[in-house]
């Protein structure tokens, strides 16, 4: 006998009571941006037909800026029930209110509080020369240059740099955010700790004020592998299609030892994958360096240097550039 399967499907329905509508906020915040707030209000039905005018007001409650205008008043007609306040300051708390009148007699009043979001400051360029000073298996120490602002008024209000750390996942080529931290001006170095060995991190930097952040600069670095004990291979400079690499002369087993440098694309904005291998020989009495050429602009590379210690082991060091 063929078994019979009975499938149960349960569906839940929710009936909204009339009381839910009665509990509706009389003054709702519909949209909040760094420079604008949209409100909608719901006056009692018994006052709607009597209303001849309405007065809207937005007042600064708390702000990081010194502003000469602490409140703005707008008069609208009796039918209006939605309005957008513009030209506001970012990261500022406002009280918004609506008052309905019959001629000069107040019929109804409602208010609410709202805080604008942090502003996107298009005039503020990103920090430059993001450099890796040192690294271990679990940390990266970076430095950067403060953006140059010609306008002294703008320059005076820059008081912080926002450092955000993302871990790069090579298999999916996606970023996952680890944390953000604000570094007060004038400090331009930071040691990022609690990282994982042998992992790649995308680090972004933005100069900021009390009410917003500027354009973003970024760099990609990796922590040392568990087997590495010292930060060997370093980037001295770069162009759109080349990298100048340096390392301690004593790292080679001899002054004239051979070495091999490999570069493999980790990420490319144009999805152009490249793998380059070059060999060289150390020169006695000179700085150990090598210029890696024919790279693709805007790409990130995993660069390694290898040398052989005859009859013993292989020396290896790598860097993300």
Decide if pLDDT at 18 tops 70: no
Decide if pLDDT at 6 tops 60: no
Region 174-196 average pLDDT = 94
Region 165-181 average pLDDT = 90
Is 234-320 in the same CATH topology as 27-117?
Answer: yes
Residue 3 has a pLDDT of 45
Residue 69 has a pLDDT of 66
Residue 25 has a pLDDT of 84
Residue 207 has a pLDDT of 95
pLDDT in tens, 145-159: 998 888 777 778 899
Region 8-30 average pLDDT = 55
Length of the chain: 321
Region 20-41 average pLDDT = 82
pLDDT in tens, 79-91: 999 999 999 988 8
pTM: 0.67
**For 234-320, which CATH class?**
mainly beta
Strand order from edge to edge, sheet including 275-281: 275-281, 258-267, 300-309, 313-320
Decide if pLDDT at 191 tops 90: yes
- Concatenated DSSP letters of 201-269: EEEEEEEEETTEEEEEEEEEEEPPPTT--S---EEEEEETTEEEEE--GGGSSSTT-EEEEEEEEEE-T
Q: How far apart are CA 100 and CA 195, in angstroms?
A: 58
Q: Which CATH architecture has domain 27-117?
A: Sandwich (2.60)
- pLDDT averaged over the chain? 85
pLDDT above 90 coverage of the chain, percent: 51
Residue 317 has a pLDDT of 62
Residues contacting 19, CB < 8 A, separation 6+: none
Range from 44-48, 193-197, 316-320 that averages highest in pLDDT: 193-197
Domain locations along the chain: 27-117, 128-222, 234-320
- Mark 21-30 as b/e (b = at least 16 C-beta within 10 Å): eeeeeebeee
Decide if pLDDT at 164 tops 70: yes
Range with the lowest mean pLDDT among 13-17, 19-23, 268-272?
13-17
Q: 265: closest CA among 320, 318, 208, 184? A: 320
φ/ψ (deg, to 5) at 152: -65, -30
What fold, for 128-222? Immunoglobulin-like (2.60.40)
Question: What is the Cβ-side half-sphere exposure of residue 51, based on CA atoms within 13 angstroms?
Answer: 23
Residue 121 has a pLDDT of 87
């Amino acid at each position: 006998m063929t078994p019979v399967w009975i499938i149960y499907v349960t569906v839940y329905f929710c009936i909204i009571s009339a009381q839910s509508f009665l509990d509706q906020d009389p003054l709702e915040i519909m949209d909040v941006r760094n420079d604008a707030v949209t409100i909608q209000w719901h006056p009692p039905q018994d006052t709607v037909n009597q209303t001849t005018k309405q007065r809207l007001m937005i007042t600064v409650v708390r702000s990081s800026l010194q502003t000469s205008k602490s409140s703005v008043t707008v008069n609208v007609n009796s039918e209006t029930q939605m309005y957008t306040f513009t030209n506001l300051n970012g990261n500022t708390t406002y009280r918004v209110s609506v008052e309905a009148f019959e001629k000069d007699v107040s019929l109804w009043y409602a208010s609410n509080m709202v805080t604008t979001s942090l502003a996107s400051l298009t005039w503020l360029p990103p920090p430059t020369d993001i450099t890796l000073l040192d690294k271990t298996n679990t940390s990266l120490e970076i430095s950067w240059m403060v953006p140059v602002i010609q306008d002294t008024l703008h320059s005076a209000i820059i008081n912080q740099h926002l450092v955000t750390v993302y871990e790069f996942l090579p298999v999916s080529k996606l970023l996952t955010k680890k944390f953000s931290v604000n570094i007060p001006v004038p400090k331009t170095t930071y040691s990022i700790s609690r990282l994982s060995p042998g992992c790649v991190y995308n680090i972004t930097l933005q100069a900021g004020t009390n009410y917003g952040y500027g354009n973003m600069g970024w760099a990609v670095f990796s922590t040392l592998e568990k087997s590495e004990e010292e930060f060997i291979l370093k980037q001295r400079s770069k162009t759109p299609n080349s990298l100048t690499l340096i390392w301690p002369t004593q790292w080679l087993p001899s002054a004239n030892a051979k070495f091999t440098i490999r570069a493999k694309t980790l990420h490319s904005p144009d999805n152009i994958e490249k793998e380059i291998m070059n060999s060289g020989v150390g020169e006695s009495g000179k700085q150990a360096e090598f210029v890696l050429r024919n790279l693709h602009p805007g790409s990130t590379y995993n660069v390694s240097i290898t040398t052989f210690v005859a009859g013993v082991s292989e020396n290896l060091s790598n860097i993300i550039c």
